[in-house]
Structure 1
Amino acid sequence: MRTFQVPTREQVTPTVQGVFDHMQSAFGMVPNLYATIGYSENALTSYLAFQNAQAKGSFTAKEREAVFLAVSEVNGCSYCQAAHTAIGKMNGFSEDDTVQLRAGSHADTRLSTITRLAASITKNHGRPEAQLLEDFFALGYDEKGLVDLVALVADKTFANYLHNITRIPVDFPAAQKLEALPA
């Protein structure tokens, strides 16, 4: 199988170099996965615009991180599990919270419902279990919330798939392994 390398700043377009410079300034690093997306200027700029737009959707930053943890677990993406464990902690989750969210067993009913639905959407290729969908609507979400949730699943699935294909190095502390996932 091909070995993929994370591109350096010099290997990407001037537009992507500007994005890298902004990330370096804002975060102190250019995460390897974003750098890899940077092979395609179109993919990186449109992906960042999509992510930024999702911040204005139905979910808080903490809820978005919960969804990203659940989706990354289903898709088996070690990169995004690690990254969103770290970002989740920055958004107020404990290590134990991140493990529970990935396992679909968080004590917070709202977070548990959202993450279980996101996991079911991912696992079942857009055909979630009917009861999970009803539980989501029972929380007060509407069609807008559902569309926003599917957008978050798509966002993270893109990143998960890219890492699962490229296997570029994970530049975040590894996420704790789960003993066993619920069926």
Structure 2
Amino acid sequence: MARVPIHDIDSAPEASKEALERQSKRVGKTINIFGAMAHSPAVMGLYDAAEELLGERSNLDRRTREAIHLTIANVNQCDYCQAAYTGSAKAQGFSEEQTVQIRKGAVDEDDKLTALLALARELAEHKGEVADDTWQAALDAGWSDVELLDAYADVVRTVLTNWFNHLVGTELDLPAAPALD
């Protein structure tokens, strides 16, 4: 059961409405996480600013960013975000099987993406610590150091959503992510 009200655009606090409208439009509807975030204009604004900034300035494309989001949602065992990011990853061209692979940590036939996701997973699992060989493996796979920092930013942005869902108990209003074998 959710701990806070789930707002729609009409019921949201005035200071949350613009950000809620923008994020609802981006995903095609007001999903429960956004409706719950809107209860706090600070939280809604923080998420909106992070998403907008990364969308404008990240050197990573949307497809790669969605793979990072899905990886971190798995690390943080956030069922809501695994469902949401599975849908987003599929919208970016990943197959359902690839979304499962991403959650497990390796994408068949994509060593470059797998190296980046290994770095993202290690960041989340070890609270920002990454071994030198993990960093170097991502560089050797073809990622730049700037792209690795941008991946870090997406990890942080995803932790925000994962922990928010854990905190407020966001109810799933999306198709569940497929089970892992």
Normalising to structure 2: TM-score of the pair? 0.89
Residues 69, 81 of structure 1: 8 Å contact kept: yes
RMSD value, Cα: 2.0
Of the candidates 126, 137, 140, which is equivalent to residue 138 of structure 1? 140
Which 4+ runs in 1 deviate beyond 6 A? none
Kindly state the Cα deviation for residue 39 of structure 1 after the two structures are TM-superposed. Answer: 1.7
| Paired letter, 1:173 | P
Compute the displacement of 1:174 (Å). 0.1
- Tell me what 2:151 maps to: 149
Shift of residue 111, structure 1, vs aligned partner: 1.3
- Looking at structure 1, the residues matched to 145 and 24 of structure 2 have their Cα atoms a distance apart, in angstroms, of 37
The aligned residue for residue 16 of structure 2 is 16
**What's the TM-score, normalizing by structure 1?**
0.88
Give the partner amino acid of 1:167.
G
1:39 counterpart letter in structure 2: H
Q: Following TM superposition, by how much is the alpha carbon of 1:129 offset from its aligned partner in structure 2, in angstroms?
A: 3.1
2:127 aligned to 107, 125, 128, which one? 125
**Alpha-carbon distance in 1 for matches of 2:59, 2:20:** 28
Deviation at 1:130, TM superposition (A): 2.8
Give aligned-pair identity as a percent: 25
Partner of 2:32: 32
How far apart in 2 are the matches of 1:155 and 1:174? 21
Query: Unmatched 5+ residue regions in structure 1?
Result: none
In 2, Cα distance between equivalents of 1:2 and 1:64: 28
How many angstroms apart in 1 are the aligned matches of 2:172 and 2:30? 12
Matches within 5 A, 1:1-183: 3-25=3-25, 27-55=27-55, 56-107=57-108, 108-179=110-181
Query: What SS class does the counterpart of residue 16 from structure 1 fall into?
Result: helix
- The one-letter code matched in structure 2 to 1:106 is V
The CA deviation string for residues 103-128 of structure 1, in whole angstroms up to 9 with x for no partner, is 01211111111111101110011112
One-letter code of the match for 1:101? I
Q: Name the aligned partner's letter for residue 117 of structure 2.
A: T
Q: Label 1:43 to 1:2 Cα distance change in 2 as closer, same or farther (>3 A).
A: closer
Cα 1:25/1:152, change in 2 over 3 Å: closer
SS at match of 2:162: helix
Residues 66, 115 of structure 1: 8 Å contact kept: yes
Aligned residues: 179
